[in-house]
Amino acid sequence: MNYKYLPFAVLLFVILLLVHDRSTEAWGFWSHRQINRYAILSLPADMKPFFNKYAETIIERSVEPDTKRHSDSLEQFHHYIDIDRYGAYPFNDLPRNYDSAIVKFGKGRVDSSGIVPWRIADFTAKLTRAMKQRRTDEIIYYASYIGHYVADAHVPLHTTDNYDGQHTNQKGIHSRWESRIPEMFGDGFNLRPQDVEYVRDPLHHAFAVVLESYLKVDSVLAIDLEALASVPENRRFKSVERRGKTETQLSDDYYREYHTRLNGMVERRLNESIKGVASYWYTAWVDAGRPDLLK
Ligand SMILES: [Zn+2]
């Protein structure tokens, strides 16, 4: 090794450690791309030509907020909110206004608990402005990112302090639900364009999505335990060779059980994400005065 680079290597290692505490990636890349793809197909004819023209970019950039977390340590906080750090459902102790929340709980606590609803509202306002001014690059940027954040807010484990089952001895549940299940069974999902709806209050609606996700947390966790218990012990795990090492992973039998017992929840949440993303884009466009974005 060239020791000239040692300080950089150490620094990089430390950065990775710092960034890694919330490393689980929302939905997985496959799902994020599908969500933006079907959201574009959901749009009304008047605003669709712009999105069709830049479809490839908007689909590809749906995953950028996740890759960006490696270079921007603040990015991770935009993807979730551990809303159960604020008391009990429906968490009325938490002011929905960001400035009021900060006055009450302090910026450090609010930001580190995740700020996805505020990020969605903020980016919707910015997308509206970009559409009004017909700034193509900004429209693509804000639309792609809104696609990611709105989708993340639909994931139950993005709304709880127990985001990876670490408090209930279910570590790894985060990627089992949002990445592994879509990877294994996504081909059989019936993803489709959805009816868009105007969002009257982008912030309030983002909180409503979060609360809806939060109400599914108990099922996500309980069904995981049921699935585990239903698979005989000798078929619960499998050994996989990875980078020359033998790793123990949960078996395909477990995943089949978990998926079956979830009874379509992952697929439903994907379709609801599609509807949510398209509705936020549509709302920005209506608020911008329904401009011809390609002009
Ligand atoms: Zn994310």
Over residues 56-99, the pLDDT tens digits come to 999 999 999 999 999 999 999 999 999 999 999 999 999 999 99
What's the predicted TM-score (pTM) here?
0.90
pLDDT value at 208 more than 70: yes
Q: What percent of the chain has pLDDT over 70?
A: 91
Please tell me the distance between residue 29's alpha carbon and the centre of ligand 1 in angstroms: 9
Please tell me the distance between residue 32's alpha carbon and the centre of ligand 1 in angstroms: 9
Please tell me the distance between residue 66's alpha carbon and the centre of ligand 1 in angstroms: 5
Q: In the prediction, which pLDDT does 295 show?
A: 86
Average pLDDT over the chain reads 92
Please tell me the distance between residue 256's alpha carbon and the centre of ligand 1 in angstroms: 25
Q: What is the average per-residue pLDDT within 211-231?
A: 98
Over residues 241-290, the pLDDT tens digits come to 988 999 999 999 999 999 999 999 999 999 999 999 999 999 999 999 99
Please tell me the distance between residue 231's alpha carbon and the centre of ligand 1 in angstroms: 31
Please, which pLDDT band fits residue 157 given cuts at 50, 70 and 90? Answer: very high
Ion ligand 1: residues, Cβ under 5 Å: 26, 66, 79, 152
Please tell me the distance between residue 234's alpha carbon and the centre of ligand 1 in angstroms: 35
- Would you list the domain boundaries of the chain? 3-219+265-287
If you write DSSP's letter for every residue of the chain in order, what string do you get?
A: --GGGHHHHHHHHHHHHHHGGG-PPSSHHHHHHHHHHHHHHHS-TTTHHHHHHTHHHHHHGGGHHHHGGGT-TTGGGGG---GGGGSSTT-TTS-SSHHHHHHHH-HHHHHHT--HHHHHHHHHHHHHHHHHTT-HHHHHHHHHHHHHHHHHHTSGGGSSS-TTSTTTT-TTHHHIIIIIHHHHHGGG-----------S-HHHHHHHHHHHHHTTHHHHHHHHHHHHHHS-GGGSEEEEEETTEEEEEE-HHHHHHHHHHHTTHHHHHHHHHHHHHHHHHHHHHHHTT---TT-
Pick 3-219+265-287's CATH classification: 1.20.140.10, 1.10.575.10, 2.60.40.10, 1.25.40.20.
Answer: 1.10.575.10
